[in-house]
Amino acid sequence: MAKALPDLPDEYTRNARLKPAFLVGLPVATLAAAWGLKASVLLGSASGPLAAAGLTYLLAHLSRDLGQRKQVELFQSWGGKPSVAKLRHRDATLNLHTRARYHEKAAQLFGKPMPTAAEEAADPTAADLVYESYCNLLLERTRDTKAYRLLFEELMSYGFRRNLLGMKPIGLSFSAVCTGVEVAALAEALRMGREADAPTVGFLAVNIFLLACWILLITPDWVKRAADSYADRLLAASESLPKGTEKRAVGPGPKAKPARAGRRGQSGSENASASESALKSRIPGR
């Protein structure tokens, strides 16, 4: 009998939540492998039971929670959500004519006009509430990951970077400690006259690279670039949405079959009455 596989996470969870968590633990795995613990064999044997016990689910939640906590700080430092900020009249990152086009489309989708420049200047908080509500509408209407594939990829990119930044204190600590241990072990081996083996040097190089990424690459500015790209794609997707806030119909309903011709001698009005009764009988709930 085939083994029952644990539930596989969806694409967003794998890329935006689990991969950051695995990158955080990668230095520990390389250190174990460098010490000859055959980490790949151990992890391979334990991965099935650990996944079934909910380890991957726990890692995904840990990554998401730390990322969301960091996101609050990021939005405060950025002056709000990038998608909301790009709709403001006072924002300079979006072309003036492009913003006007987005506002015009927003009035059609949202059912009410966006705040004018004067209204926004008089009450910026009230204007932001309108912009945020409209952006929430866009989120709900662009959840089809196949129809809006580019938008979904930008969302995964942002989620991956945000969650990595949220886990930076843990990842940076693991990388620094493991790199220090490997450097000390390598120095001791050279002092004792032993040659450094290629795998140990390779693992050390990986940890040094990870440590450099945590310090130099994974920063709020790195996350901001992904957030801006996602906001641009979200607003651009609004122009392909149909007018109105109603949902699209799933498909045409079944066509009613024409009534059979009545018996010879039956009047036209009797045929019409019989046809109407037949149609009514087919309508659910009647």
pLDDT category of residue 8 using cuts at 50, 70 and 90: low
Residue 102 and residue 235 in contact, taking contact as beta carbons nearer than 8 Å = yes
pTM comes to 0.77
Residue 177 and residue 26 in contact, taking contact as beta carbons nearer than 8 Å = no
C-alpha distances out from residue 194 to 173, 181, 187, 197, Å: 29, 17, 10, 9
| Per-residue confidence (pLDDT) for residue 246, from 0 to 100 | 44
pLDDT category of residue 56 using cuts at 50, 70 and 90: confident
Calpha distance 2→245 (Å, rounded) = 48
Give φ, ψ of 63 to 5 degrees.
-60, -45
Calpha distance 70→161 (Å, rounded) = 11
The model's pLDDT over 241-275, given as tens digits with 9 standing for 90+, comes to 987 544 443 334 444 444 444 444 444 444 444 44
The model's pLDDT over 125-138, given as tens digits with 9 standing for 90+, comes to 999 999 999 999 99
Most confident of 24-38, 165-179, 241-255: 165-179
Question: Tell me, what DSSP letter sits at residue 148?
Answer: T
Calpha distance 84→46 (Å, rounded) = 45
The upper half-sphere exposure of residue 180, i.e. CA atoms within 13 Å in the direction of its Cβ, equals 6
Which residue, among 67, 82, 21, has the nearest Cα to 162 in the 3D structure?
67
Calpha distance 88→96 (Å, rounded) = 10
Give φ, ψ of 252 to 5 degrees.
-70, 145
Calpha distance 81→232 (Å, rounded) = 12
Structure tokens at 272: 């019409």
The model's pLDDT over 96-144, given as tens digits with 9 standing for 90+, comes to 999 999 999 999 999 999 999 999 999 999 999 999 999 999 999 999 9
pLDDT category of residue 42 using cuts at 50, 70 and 90: low
